Chains A and B, each alone.
Chain A
Amino acid sequence: MLLKTAQAGTLESSDCLVVVSPADSHSLEYSGQNAAIFKRRTERIVAEIAKRCAPQGAAVQVQDRGALEATLRARVETAFERASKQEQQMSMRGGQ
């Protein structure tokens, strides 16, 4: 269950910045220089991870700077995990 808005990744070349927020349904806002080419790939990966990590719904924003699939998956998963953690847990686990 998502508890808060969280982000992962950067806007550096070959990376992507992912922002995940709690929501009642699923939505994806995808932008980037090659967004038209990678739209389907990104939708598929985000939907797969969102279904697993937040079945009740999530608003996801991805700003893509040319991320490989491995990078996109890692950043989306990290953003979901961060959005699911309480602040208290974060400090107890050494900043995770």
Chain B
Amino acid sequence: MMMRTGRRPCRSMLYMPGNNPGMMQHVPAFGADSVLLDLEDAVAEREKDAARRLVAHFVREVDFGSVVVTVRVNGADTPWFERDLEEVVPSGLAAVRIPKCHSPEDVKRADAVIGRIERERDMPEGGVRIHAMLETAHGIERAFEIARASERVEALTLGGQDLTADMGVQKTRDGVELFYARGRVVMAAKAAGLAAFDTVWTDIEDTEGLKNEARLAAQMGFTGKAAIHPSQIDAIHEAWRPDPRELRRAVRVVGAAERAEREGRGVISVDGRMVDAPIVVRAFALIQLGRLYGMDVITESDVIAESKEAGL
């Protein structure tokens, strides 16, 4: 799913403590697609005011390059929620991540506050998006309603740590306890036309575990995955990179489909196998993803278009 913030990849979302300028100023060098400046769990209570002011200045004044900038504010049930939004919404960020969304009302409340701030500041209304974080059993069960609670909602995100605590189970290496929640979040996001982001992998030393979990999330249809350390970014990007062999086959499928359309044929086969409409749709989506992630993909129609342009 493409983010409405633009045609930019969002495979990795790197958490950064919102009160640590030394780390935040190096964000463009880490190579993440997106950064998540955190005002919630990463900031001590007595530093909430300092962090939100620092984050607001950073977003407004520091060049993050092509990195998509989002901010996780404190939850609607905390005394910092509205103050966080008051400071960060006018700063020019792409989206705010709202933690612990239990119900559509949590999103509607955030939407109302953000809308008021946009009107007061003469900002384009609806410009700041919401990433709704689902990290309670209640929130997971209401995922689709939450996704549809506001036009601002651009993504659903899974918070695995709090969710497993809420479920009263342990977070395991193979993540079987989160399988239903992952499926529910992805399906709700897809049904609502939104992006979906997977939870963090907390063991920084266990790269193999991260790779497996990221691969699972990519296979299940997530748009990307949160990272808690820059060293996790490459493994996450790798998981979302289309397999070159599958990509080459996708090029052949799309080429055959385009030829069939030009020649008025309904049925096509590629590599000796029949190809129907959903296969063409999946092949086209894979080519788009490959291009989004910077891979060189040349289709038959590209060659034809280039030849026409060159007058051949």
Instruction: Name B60's closest neighbour in chain A (CB-CB).
Output: A70
CB contact under 8 A between A73 and B49, given known A14-B25, A68-B62, A93-B79: no
Q: Taking the nearest CB of chain A, how far is it from the CB of B270, in angstroms?
A: 53
The answer to whether B79 and A75 touch across the interface, beta carbons within 8 angstroms, is no
Could you give, for residues 58-79 of chain A, a 1 whenever the CB lies within 8 Å of some chain B CB and a 0 otherwise?
Answer: 0000000001111101110110
Could you give, for residues 53-79 of chain B, a 1 whenever the CB lies within 8 Å of some chain A CB and a 0 otherwise?
Answer: 110111011100000000000000011
**B6 contacts A by Cβ under 8 Å:** no
Q: Complex: how many Å from CA A94 to CA B53?
A: 16
The answer to whether A81 and B49 touch across the interface, beta carbons within 8 angstroms, is yes
The answer to whether B50 and A9 touch across the interface, beta carbons within 8 angstroms, is yes
Within 8 A of A (CB), among B26-51: 45-46, 48-50
The answer to whether B56 and A74 touch across the interface, beta carbons within 8 angstroms, is yes
**A86 contacts B by Cβ under 8 Å:** no
**B21 contacts A by Cβ under 8 Å:** yes
**B80 contacts A by Cβ under 8 Å:** yes
Q: How many residues of A contact B (CB 8 A)?
A: 22
The answer to whether A96 and B49 touch across the interface, beta carbons within 8 angstroms, is yes
CB contact under 8 A between A14 and B22, given known A68-B62, A94-B80: yes
* A-B Cβ contacts below 8 A, count: 63
The answer to whether B48 and A95 touch across the interface, beta carbons within 8 angstroms, is yes
Pick from B20, B25, B53: contact of A74, CB under 8 Å: B53
Give the residues in chain B near A96, CB-CB below 8 Å.
48-49, 79-80, 83
Give the residues in chain A near B62, CB-CB below 8 Å.
68, 70
Q: Taking the nearest CB of chain B, how far is it from the CB of A77, in angstroms?
A: 6
Q: Taking the nearest CB of chain B, how far is it from the CB of A40, in angstroms?
A: 18
The answer to whether A69 and B61 touch across the interface, beta carbons within 8 angstroms, is yes
CB contact under 8 A between A71 and B48, given known A12-B22, A14-B21, A15-B21: no
Instruction: Name A67's closest neighbour in chain B (CB-CB).
Output: B21
Give the residues in chain A near B53, CB-CB below 8 Å.
74, 77-78, 81
Q: Complex: how many Å from CA A69 to CA B146?
A: 39
Pick from A9, A75, A95: contact of B45, CB under 8 Å: A95
Pick from A15, A70, A77: contact of B22, CB under 8 Å: A15
Instruction: Name B46's closest neighbour in chain A (CB-CB).
Output: A95
Give the residues in chain B near A73, CB-CB below 8 Å.
57, 61
Give the residues in chain B near A77, CB-CB below 8 Å.
53
Residues of A within 8 A of B (CB): 8-9, 12-15, 67-71, 73-75, 77-78, 81-82, 93-96
Residues of B within 8 A of A (CB): 20-22, 25, 45-46, 48-50, 53-54, 56-58, 60-62, 78-80, 83
Name 13 interchain pairs, CB-CB below 8 A, sorted by A.
Answer: A14-B21, A67-B21, A70-B21, A71-B21, A73-B57, A74-B21, A74-B53, A78-B53, A82-B49, A93-B83, A94-B48, A95-B46, A96-B49
